[in-house]
Structure 1
Amino acid sequence: MTTYDDVARLALALPETVEGLSYRHRAWSVGRKAFAWERPFSQADLRRFGDDPVPEGPILGVRVEDLGEKEAILGEERPGFFTIQHFDGFAGLLIQLDLVGEAALREALVDAWLATAPPALAERHAERLR
């Protein structure tokens, strides 16, 4: 089980990462683009769940390289990794922090950072981060 404080610690350890706010929630960016952010559900999100159970606890949004990677990750059925209708067609997914350990969280953050960082910066650090 991980927390937003764990997210902050791991994200801020990545090169040139800054923490800020996006829609009044914490977000972590590189090159002025967010790669991870707090993602509470909106009222519209909650309505879309209908009778399905709503994932509980803190939710983190992260970018992925592309829709193919998103589908691959979701296809692995990793505990805590999911998507919602609002993310259809978007290269990102959601993580239920209560269900992931630190190693899985770190991997997701590194992948999100690499997918978002300016190419030259990502190339300089890719081998060290993996």
Structure 2
Amino acid sequence: MVTEDDVRRIALALPETTEKTMYGTPAFYVRGKWFARVREEGDVLVLPLGTQEEKAALIAAEPAKFFTTPHYDGHASVLVRFGAVDAGEMGELLADAWRLRAPKRLAAGFDG
């Protein structure tokens, strides 16, 4: 099971990532753009996705891991349960969200 400390460690290892508070909870940013936020529950992460179709596919394929709430209807963001993913998968999810928000050159350098 992934913890908030795991999420923090993984996120802050990504280039030019900073942590700030968003809606009273920890959030992670790359050059001023958020790419992950811990929800109020403390064991759920909000991640942006490229499209709403990607969101629907993740939720349909693995509803124990991924879900949404009415607040996120119409947004390409998905909620991830900490207890349903391991550190490796969380790392992949965070890196994908980071790439989505990072400037192209920074992301290209990271993927090198």
Q: Give the TM-score taking structure 2 as reference length.
A: 0.90
- Work out the number of aligned pairs and report it: 112
> Would you say 1:29 and 2:44 are equivalent positions?
no
What is the rounded CA distance, in whole Å, between the counterparts of 1:79 and 1:109 in structure 2? Answer: 18
SS at the partner of 2:88? Answer: helix
SS at the partner of 1:104? Answer: helix
Map 1:99-118 → 2, pairs under 5 A: 99-118=84-103
Structure possessing the higher radius of gyration over alpha carbons = 1
Q: Identify the range of structure 1 (89-98 vs 115-124) with the bigger mean alpha-carbon deviation.
A: 115-124
Q: Which amino acid aligns with 1:33?
A: K
Residue number in structure 2 paired with 1:54: none
Please list every run of 5 or more consecutive structure 2 residues that lacks an aligned counterpart in the other structure: none
Q: 1:64 aligns with which of 40, 49, 55?
A: 49
What is the rounded CA distance, in whole Å, between the counterparts of 1:89 and 1:120 in structure 2? Answer: 29
| Runs of 4+ with deviation above 3 angstroms | none
SS at the partner of 1:20? Answer: strand
What is the rounded CA distance, in whole Å, between the counterparts of 2:31 and 2:51 in structure 1? Answer: 18
Post-superposition offset of 1:83 = 1.1
Q: 2:79 aligns with which of 90, 94, 98?
A: 94
Contact 1:79 1:100 in 2 (8 A): no
What is the rounded CA distance, in whole Å, between the counterparts of 1:104 and 1:72 in structure 2? Answer: 17
After superposition, give the CA deviation of every residue in 1:23-81 in whole Å (9 maximum; x if it has no partner): 1211000020110011126xxxxxxxxxxxxxxx6111111122222222223216321
Residue number in structure 2 paired with 1:18: 18
Percent identity, aligned pairs only? 40
1:11–1:71 distance in 2 versus 1, CA, 3 Å: same
SS at the partner of 1:89? Answer: coil
What is the rounded CA distance, in whole Å, between the counterparts of 2:38 and 2:82 in structure 1? Answer: 10
What is the rounded CA distance, in whole Å, between the counterparts of 1:72 and 1:119 in structure 2? Answer: 25
Residue number in structure 1 paired with 2:5: 5
